[in-house]
Structure 1
Amino acid sequence: MVEIDLNPTDTVILDMLNEGRCTPAYIAAEYDYTRQNVQNRLQRLVEHGYVTKLHQGLYELVEDPRKGT
C-alpha cells in the first residue's frame, strides 16, 4: 500500500478516532473545520484502509498510520 501524507486535519481525525467512533459533523464542530473538509479527509483515510465506515456518517479507526514510524 502507498503511504499517505498526513495533514493537520488527518492528525486531528486520527486522534479523535483513537478515542472512539466519530461522525464528520462531530469532528468538524470540535475543531472548527468544515464538515466537507473532514468528510474528504475521512474518505481518503478509508481508501487507504486506515479507517472504516461503519454506517452512514459513522467512522472507526482500523490502523493508525502514525504508529510504527
Structure 2
Amino acid sequence: MALDADDLSPAQDAALKMLREGRVTAPFVADETGYSLQYVREQLTDLVKHGHVEKIHDGLYELVEEPTGGDDDE
C-alpha cells in the first residue's frame, strides 16, 4: 500500500528528494541529511515496503513511484 505525501517522515521526504536526482545509498543519505545511518536504513526499508523505492543492489536504492497527495498535487 502506497503512502501519501502527508504520511512521510522528514527523513523519508529528504531521501525521496535525493532519489529524484538519481540512485542513492543509505550512507549518502545519512551524510547529506544528518540522520543516523540506522534511521535512514529503516526509512528506506519502509519506502521499499510501500512500493516507492526499490533496492536494486546491495545498499543501492532507486525511486519507483512518488507518494501521492501533499502540497505538490494542489
TM-score, normalised relative to structure 2: 0.84
Counterpart residue type for residue 62 of structure 2: E
Question: More relative contact order in 1 or in 2 (CA 8 Å, sep 6+)?
Answer: 2
Root mean square deviation, CA, Å: 1.7
Partner of 1:23: 25
Partner of 1:3: 3
In 2: Cα distance, 1:62 partner to 1:2 partner: 11
Once the two structures are superposed, residues 7-66 of structure 1 have per-residue CA deviations (whole angstroms, 9 ceiling, x without a partner) of 111110000000000000000001111011000000000001000000010000001104
Partner of 2:40: 38
In 1: Cα distance, 2:48 partner to 2:21 partner: 17
| Unaligned residue ranges in structure 1 (runs of 5+) | none
Q: List structure 1 segments (4+ residues) > 3 angstroms apart after TM superposition.
A: 66-69
The share of aligned pairs that are identical, in percent, is: 46
| Unaligned residue ranges in structure 2 (runs of 5+) | none
